[in-house]
Structure 1
């Protein structure tokens, strides 16, 4: 079966599944999205693109943005970041405060909300949020080769008005001096970062540097090869919160999910993949997006645990 046929088969199968999960409702703007949407895009290492379903529909990438924010923060302060954020799976919900209390304001990893807030603090860098968000957008424009990527201001406002738990996380870390800028500025950066909208096609294009050992397809270097491998490792071990082990077991490739229903998945040296289905499972990850990636791995044999060809 060709990759084009594989994508078509997955899209057809997903359309037959009745239980599509539950759309995130704690962010009011996300609750408006129709649960029957599904898109998929694959960009291969040789530059081919395969799409299916709603691959060109824009959606709120939410926590998938943490991959790109982490890349920027590492570019700013390098491995000093790991003095403020850990690199271990949390085993708890993405917005848990319990572990943060036990570990004195040091988040377990950069992909849970507390860790991403510290990353936003780094990326703020003494500027106003609009500067940091502008940098993030320019970065994504470069990665995807598409200047149309933008922020959904309604989603950002919706997150700001309901983000009380994130406010608690940020203030708790501020008490331990692990958030150094004013909390409202840090959260303004974080909420707008999460409200970035992209399509599956744009997201798969943006993830190519993680497929290509840190290189952009234009020949430039986004990050070092070692750093790209480490970001992929964090995606595999921490990218699906307390379901990261199950995702690694079922799919076997690095992936980062978001409560908007998107997942960015990377097969090093082979493919950058984005799927979107807004209905979530009990862990807050895309229910049918996970099913689609599991089917793709089964059809293609793609896995970081498989021997090279």
Structure 2
């Protein structure tokens, strides 16, 4: 896999020479402390091999990338009945917008905007105490990444809880429409902790490999979800994974992907690879600036775009 390693090394070098690295998220104080000069990228292949470059071994807060995995868990519990609670259409609005939620009577447009992810956290929480639900999410991430060292960054979780008024507003608003079943503070506790999971690019790429394998982890043979469900998760990632920048990401990169304001992006090349890129600086709509550019280059050089003839 020398060619892939060379491509990743070249991408890291190009990133190092880029002057405009975006702006680190500041509305969560703990994220504002992260060094913006870091960049890592990792590619997990069907045989379980992970090829990486740059700061791919440095842990970061995965934030909204976690929504892919909680959606997977919730679909396992509720099946396609989940879509009665959460839509699967692009929002075209900022990730924390309340306007669309009001217009659509408390049903979030998709599971990757904040309101939708909070509704999914409510479904994961059903029948459990918050600590149990958080533990289930963390165990799932460790299982997928085949790495028991993955933890939740408690300082980030507490920072989010202390500055989560907008998310609390979204949750209370949905509760008023009957779209949230559990106590709002319990649901938000689960949501903030899932976003505070810390992973490296290598761990994150490995965790997403089942989505590149038609729902099966090709390294272990375990069927994580059905092939049909994996395709649907990838479809929602392609349409909705980058908030109001989803169309631009699909246009430039051509891969299903999910971003987080910690600067991480998980992208899937179906049948070929699971990819994680990380750089803390964000573009104006909240997606990693260098991460997006790196994935565009990787998809082009490897011929991995899903739109490639």
Q: Which TM bucket (shorter chain)?
A: over 0.9
Which residue matches 1:301? 303
Which residue matches 1:238? 240
CA shift digits 1:48-106 (9 cap, x unpaired): 32100000000000000000000000000001110010000000000000000000000
Identify unmatched segments of 5+ residues in structure 1.
Answer: none
3-state SS of the aligned residue for 1:218?
Answer: coil
Measured in 2, the distance between the counterparts of 1:169 and 1:3 equals 43
Which residue matches 2:185? 184
Query: 1:127, CA displacement in angstroms?
Result: 1.5
3-state SS of the aligned residue for 2:305?
Answer: coil
Conserved? CA contact 1:262–1:274, under 8 Å = yes
User: Is 1:35 aligned to residue 36 of structure 2?
Assistant: yes
Which residue matches 1:170? 171
Conserved? CA contact 2:238–2:250, under 8 Å = yes
User: Is 1:252 aligned to residue 254 of structure 2?
Assistant: yes
Listed as ranges, the matches of 1:88-99 within 5 Å are 88-99=89-100
CA RMSD in angstroms, aligned pairs only: 0.8
CA shift digits 1:216-272 (9 cap, x unpaired): 221111000000000000000000000000000000000000000000000000000
Listed as ranges, the matches of 1:145-294 within 5 Å are 145-216=146-217, 217-294=219-296
Conserved? CA contact 2:264–2:288, under 8 Å = yes
Conserved? CA contact 2:48–2:206, under 8 Å = no
Conserved? CA contact 1:23–1:35, under 8 Å = yes
3-state SS of the aligned residue for 2:135?
Answer: helix
Q: Could you state the TM-score of these two structures normalised by the residue count of structure 2?
A: 0.98
Listed as ranges, the matches of 1:28-107 within 5 Å are 28-107=29-108
3-state SS of the aligned residue for 1:29?
Answer: helix
Measured in 1, the distance between the counterparts of 2:105 and 2:294 equals 39
Query: 1:46, CA displacement in angstroms?
Result: 3.0
Conserved? CA contact 1:126–1:181, under 8 Å = no
Measured in 2, the distance between the counterparts of 1:120 and 1:214 equals 21
Identify unmatched segments of 5+ residues in structure 2.
Answer: none
Measured in 1, the distance between the counterparts of 2:128 and 2:223 equals 26
Measured in 2, the distance between the counterparts of 1:201 and 1:273 equals 9
Query: 1:128, CA displacement in angstroms?
Result: 1.3
Measured in 2, the distance between the counterparts of 1:224 and 1:91 equals 29
